[in-house]
Amino acid sequence: MSANPSLRSLLSSSSLPANEARILLAYVLEKHYQLPRSALLSRDDMTLNDLAQTEWQSIEQRRLNGEPVAYILGKKGFHNIELSVAPGVLIPRPETELLVEIALGEIAKLNKPVKILDLGTGSGAIALAVASASPESSLLATDQSEVALAIAMQNAKSLKLTDRVQFAHGSWYQAIPEDSAFDIILSNPPYIADQDPHLAQGDLRFEPVSALTDKASGLTCLEEIIFGADQYLKPGGLIAVEHGFDQAKAVVALMTKAGLKDPKIHLDLAGHSRVSSARKSN
Ligand code: GLN
């Protein structure tokens, strides 16, 4: 007879928040027993074998040490897709779904095949979510990190989107041919300022620093992306960028300075000014 505790007592004695303990124990059950999450309730008397018990303890400890749940599970849901994630890529955030929605709205308006550029794609989240939701779209997704591109390409393959999502390696527009022209440019660049204390807190401590901060004011990557947009947008084309909740005014000023028209600030679900967009003149 196993001396290991039941699922019920593992959950009740864990120092993790209850929802995280359930997610992580469900992962162990799935991996070692191919059981669905509902087994946490329907089989709550069950005890883990020694191997699974040891894995639970190690996973619980990793989370207690602050490692993000998404890195432990190796995956994260985003918009209508699931992405593989690992320490080389930023974990996709729900607020970034706003960029996807803006792109889908624009695609619906254009009502024709649409070419989209996703600068700094990380796990591929934005490009792949748009491609998955819109068969009308073809995307080029860039990253300066080879590790990120490998993960993004793997995600494209798993989601069977490799025919409409291409990848290119390099920093911002340096990754793409100079004569490219897009209907939409999207980006969630590193926008946290160098000295921001959040960089030393929570999940951010485990994420690639180059995906989070420009190591300066927080606006330098946004500036480069905004100033290059005119060259790479078709007439009337749309650029939409994610930024910090307190950067909207500065980002709109950059867009105006870059000669872009029709600047708009978009709110995320928490009511924060999270994305700004503008257009190239017709
Ligand atoms: N939204 C992320 C955060 O605040 C930052 C991502 C980014 O810099 N693009 O945790």
Q: Give a yes or no: residue 80 inside a domain.
A: no
What would the two tokens of residue 241 be? 């960028």
Question: What is the mean predicted confidence (pLDDT) over 84-102?
Answer: 97
- Count the neighbouring beta carbons within 10 Å of the beta carbon of residue 218: 23
Q: What is the CA radius of gyration of the chain?
A: 21
155 in the same domain as 50: no
- pTM: predicted TM-score of the whole model, two decimal places: 0.95
In testing the pocket of ligand 1, which one of 212, 221, 246, 273 has its CB within 8 Å of the most ligand atoms? Answer: 212
Q: How far, in Å, from the CA of 243 to the mean position of ligand 1?
A: 8
3 band by pLDDT with thresholds 50, 70 and 90: confident
Number of domains in the chain: 2
Question: What is the mean predicted confidence (pLDDT) over 119-132?
Answer: 98
Regarding the beta carbon of 221 and ligand 1, being less than 6 Å apart is answered no
Q: Give a yes or no: residue 113 inside a domain.
A: yes
Q: What CATH number is attached to the domain comprising 131?
A: 3.40.50.150
According to the model, what pLDDT value does residue 19 have? 97
155 in the same domain as 27: no
Regarding the beta carbon of 71 and ligand 1, being less than 6 Å apart is answered no
1 band by pLDDT with thresholds 50, 70 and 90: low
According to the model, what pLDDT value does residue 27 have? 98
Three-state helix/strand/coil letters over 146-175: HHHHHHHHHHHHHCCCCCCEEEEECCHHHH
Contact (CB, 8 A) for 78 and 110: no
183 in the same domain as 106: yes
Q: Give a yes or no: residue 161 inside a domain.
A: yes
123 band by pLDDT with thresholds 50, 70 and 90: very high
Q: Give a yes or no: residue 159 inside a domain.
A: yes
Q: Give a yes or no: residue 1 inside a domain.
A: no
133 conformational bin, left if phi > 0, alpha if psi -120 to 50, beta if neither: alpha
Question: What is the mean predicted confidence (pLDDT) over 62-80?
Answer: 98
Dihedral of CA 101/276/272/215: which sign? positive
140 in the same domain as 51: no
Q: How far, in Å, from the CA of 25 to the mean position of ligand 1?
A: 28
Question: What is the mean predicted confidence (pLDDT) over 181-194?
Answer: 98
Phi, psi for residue 73 in degrees, rounded to 5: -75, -25
171 in the same domain as 53: no
Phi, psi for residue 120 in degrees, rounded to 5: 75, 60
183 in the same domain as 217: yes
Question: What is the mean predicted confidence (pLDDT) over 2-6?
Answer: 85
60 in the same domain as 161: no
116 in the same domain as 42: no
Regarding the beta carbon of 125 and ligand 1, being less than 6 Å apart is answered no
pLDDT above 70 covers what percent of the chain? Answer: 99
Regarding the beta carbon of 215 and ligand 1, being less than 6 Å apart is answered no
256 in the same domain as 165: yes
Q: Give a yes or no: residue 153 inside a domain.
A: yes
Mean pLDDT (the chain, rounded): 97
Whether the predicted pLDDT of 81 surpasses 70: yes
Regarding the beta carbon of 190 and ligand 1, being less than 6 Å apart is answered yes
Domain membership of residue 184 as a residue range:
88-279
What would the two tokens of residue 153 be? 């390409």
236 in the same domain as 133: yes
Q: Give a yes or no: residue 157 inside a domain.
A: yes
Dist CA 156 CA 165 (whole Å): 7
190 in the same domain as 61: no
According to the model, what pLDDT value does residue 2 have? 55
Whether the predicted pLDDT of 161 surpasses 90: yes
Atom of ligand 1 nearest to the CA of 90: 6
Identity (one letter) of the amino acid at 85? V
Atom 6 of ligand 1, residue of closest alpha carbon: 212
**Tens-digit pLDDT profile for residues 10-37:** 999 999 999 999 999 999 999 999 999 9
113 in the same domain as 40: no
